[in-house]
Amino acid sequence: MDGNIRTIAILSYCSIIGYGVAWIMHSQNKSVYGAYHLKQGTGVAAASIALPTVAATITEIPFVGLTIIPALTLAIIALTVIGIINASNDKFSELPLVGKFFSKWFSFID
């Protein structure tokens, strides 16, 4: 696989700045592989952006806030690591549990 395309795929999971760089690189060198990982990375980025809002709402519930927020945070970290590993190994593997939804919801990315 072309090094630039693999770089796009990996950067799509690496923070908002990395995602932005991947998006710009992809716009200059479009590929199915880059678009696939940008869709998955968009889902992870959206989840990480939504987490503080969910946390602010849930923390008011005594036991739930202390268990759900750390679990969601670990899940987002795990999805990020899995995405980077898949991108590094040139795999089109969807992220566990949510990958098929990310591909469907962000189908506008080409």
Alpha helices per DSSP H over the chain: 3-11, 15-28, 32-58, 62-88, 99-105
Per residue in 35-86, pLDDT tens? Answer: 899 999 999 999 888 888 888 787 777 777 778 888 888 999 999 999 999 9
Q: Which residue's structure tokens are 């190994």?
A: 89
Q: What is the pLDDT of residue 78?
A: 95
Give the C-alpha separation, 4 to 20, whole Å. 15
* pLDDT beyond 70 at 88: yes
Q: Is the confidence at residue 106, as pLDDT, over 90?
A: no
Question: If we measure between CA atoms, which residue out of 107, 74, 72, 95 comes closest to residue 13?
Answer: 95
Global model pTM greater than 0.75: yes
Domain residue ranges of the chain, discontinuous segments joined by +: 3-105
Which pair of structure tokens corresponds to residue 110?
A: 């080409």
Q: How confident is the model at residue 1, as a pLDDT?
A: 62
